[in-house]
Chains A and B, each alone.
Chain A
Amino acid sequence: MSCQLAADNVLYANGLYRLVYDLVGTILPCWLSYVIAGLVMIFVLVNAVLLGAAVITWAERRLLGRFQNRVGPNRWGPFGLFQPLADLLKLLTKEDLTPDGADKPVFALVPILMVAPLVMMTAVIPFAENTSLAALNVGVLYILAVSSITSIAIFMAGWSSNNRYAMFGAARSVAVLISYEVPVVLSLLGVVMVAASMSLGSIVEAQVLPFFLVQPLAFFVFMAGMSAELNRSPFDVAEAESEIIAGYHTEYSGVKFALIQAAEFGGVGVVSAIAATLFLGGWSGPWSEYLGWLWFLIKTGAIVFLFIWFRATYPRLRIDQIMAVSWKFLLPLSLVNLAAVTLEVFLLRGPEGVLTTGDLGIMAVINVVVTVVAIWVFGNLIRDRVKFQARQPSDVVVPGVTTIEVH
């Protein structure tokens, strides 16, 4: 019995899948090799997310240490690389409490609902040329749809915990999530429009000039919005320790807490992979037919570093400021980007509906100007106009510091 993948099969282009399929197909029936080859791909993706989460917790702690002039974890393994493993073992052997009066099934379901959509999101990301589990032609829409399941999980966590701070944290978190969903989704419209496809593979191929140059405004809105969606600094008000303990996961302990943390840090990795694919050109680079995965990893790592850098740099915003940033700053910015890209595409496109590299270059130049102007204009618009007189003794004059502006 032999079973080879037909050349007209849509999965044929995927080298890894084809290799496993043909190998297994020599001894097993076709449907079984279909499943096994799929499982091999799934194995890679699940490990990428969960081990990626472990590596990112380590990288974050090391880098934050460096940013704050500390050393960071450096005891176990080279450069403290085994620290996440120690953390996992510790959390696995910790007492796992479910508070009195909690809604137990919902409470236990939350970690699953946090991790599963996150892992699912990787299905359409091409991590090398033509290599994704499913090259869906609605890839961007799929990612947006699956990622929004997380907000339900967060609200379930707050609801079932029987803790008012968890409830407050969940309400805030969901409000932030849905508020930042809008600008993020609108900013991706420009990417879809220029690539003329929602498939992530086609979007990578369309990036002869990386889209973070062609649409810097969309990249800015996407990164800011995703920082908020991942509950990361400067938008991490959902877990503002001084106000509401740890937010929606206050009551979680043991392995459930480990899974929620894995989802949080894995989310950074997955979102970075998506950003690298949509804006930095994904697997494309020199010798990309062999080294595509390496370029993909380097670009993803660069975005992860950017997220950690954000966290080390910016102080936390208040909840009202967070909402204002979303609805009064990022939303108009994403609409400006949409309008600019629409007009540019309409005016620059060729007769057959193609954009050449030169067209993309022109768009990049215009959009850099648009970005600077738009950020300046809308940044001024959301400034709080209340000015407080700085408290200082009247006889002491500090040059240059007369008023403190509150943004």
Chain B
Amino acid sequence: MLEDYFRQYGLLALFGLVAVAVPTSLLIASWLTSRLGLRPRNPTPVKLEPYECGVQTIGGSWNQFNFRYYLYAILFVIFDVEVIFLYPWATKFITLELFALIEMGVFVAILLAGWAYAWRKRDLEWSN
């Protein structure tokens, strides 16, 4: 029954609450141990500096990034959206006709052309 099926999502929501509650309760327990004096807590300015293997940090933490991260992100988005279309198709493919095979072949081929173009333009390399 459909209503029964959605009961499982109720259990899933319950699971989500517990899954968040367990690490949260550990963090609270840790805070309590520091309150009870079981855990030391005496921060000093040197201790609170960003850790850099003993060297003092010069400048902030905002550095320039390799722009290739951005290209990988775009490629990822394209392929992930493709996959969203592929999953329902794959689930039902065993009963589908030849048309579905050709249709999806064309769809994947277009994306593959883009991927090959990115490779050809050396966008998949880390450094030129």
Task: Name A residues whose Cβ lies closer than 8 Å to a Cβ of B.
Answer: 8-11, 34-35, 38-39, 41-42, 45-46, 50, 92-101, 108, 111-112, 114-117, 119-120, 123, 133-136, 140-141, 161-168, 171, 174-175, 178-179, 181-182, 185-186, 189-190, 192-194, 196-198, 245, 250-251, 254-256, 258-259, 319-320, 323-324, 327-328, 331, 335, 338, 342, 345-346, 349, 353-355
Q: Which residue of A lies closest to B95 (CB)?
A: A353
Q: Is the CB of A182 within 8 A of B79?
A: yes
Also in contact, A323 and B126, with CB within 8 A (given A94-B39, A175-B72): yes
Q: List A contacts of B65 (CB < 8 A).
A: 171
Within 8 A of A (CB), among B86-124: 86-87, 90-95, 98, 101, 104, 108, 112, 115, 119, 124
Q: Is the CB of A123 within 8 A of B15?
A: yes
Q: Which residue of B lies closest to A184 (CB)?
A: B83
| Least CB distance, A222 to chain B, in whole angstroms | 14
Q: Is the CB of B39 within 8 A of A119?
A: no
Q: Is the CB of A164 within 8 A of B90?
A: no
Q: List B contacts of A167 (CB < 8 A).
A: 61-63
For the A-B complex with A164-B60, A245-B51 known, give 8 more contacts whose Cβ atoms are closer than 8 Å. Answer: A42-B15, A99-B50, A112-B20, A112-B24, A185-B83, A194-B94, A327-B119, A353-B95
Q: Is the CB of A192 within 8 A of B30?
A: no
Within 8 A of A (CB), among B1-57: 1, 4-5, 7-12, 14-16, 18-20, 22-24, 26-27, 29-30, 33-34, 38-43, 45, 47-53, 57
Q: Is the CB of A186 within 8 A of B83?
A: yes
* Range of interface residues on B (Cβ < 8 Å): 35 or more
Q: List B contacts of A140 (CB < 8 A).
A: 87
Q: Closest 6 A-B residue pairs measured CB to CB?
A: A320-B126, A255-B30, A134-B8, A353-B95, A163-B50, A119-B19
Q: List A contacts of B34 (CB < 8 A).
A: 96
Number of A-B contacts (CB under 8 A): 224
Also in contact, A9 and B39, with CB within 8 A (given A38-B14, A39-B18): no
- For the complex, what is the distance from the CA of A92 to the CA of B31, rounded to whole Å? 10
* Contact residue among A39, A114, A134, A328 (Cβ-Cβ distance under 8 Å from B9): A134
Q: Is the CB of B83 within 8 A of A179?
A: no
Q: List A contacts of B68 (CB < 8 A).
A: 323
- For the complex, what is the distance from the CA of A166 to the CA of B52, rounded to whole Å? 10
Also in contact, A196 and B39, with CB within 8 A (given A42-B18, A335-B108): no
Q: List A contacts of B23 (CB < 8 A).
A: 111-112, 114-116, 259
- For the complex, what is the distance from the CA of A251 to the CA of B53, rounded to whole Å? 12
| Least CB distance, B41 to chain A, in whole angstroms | 6
- For the complex, what is the distance from the CA of A189 to the CA of B115, rounded to whole Å? 19
A-B contact pairs, 12 of them (CB 8 A): A10-B7, A10-B8, A38-B15, A41-B11, A42-B15, A114-B23, A115-B23, A164-B57, A165-B52, A185-B83, A198-B91, A353-B94
Q: Which residue of A lies closest to B66 (CB)?
A: A171
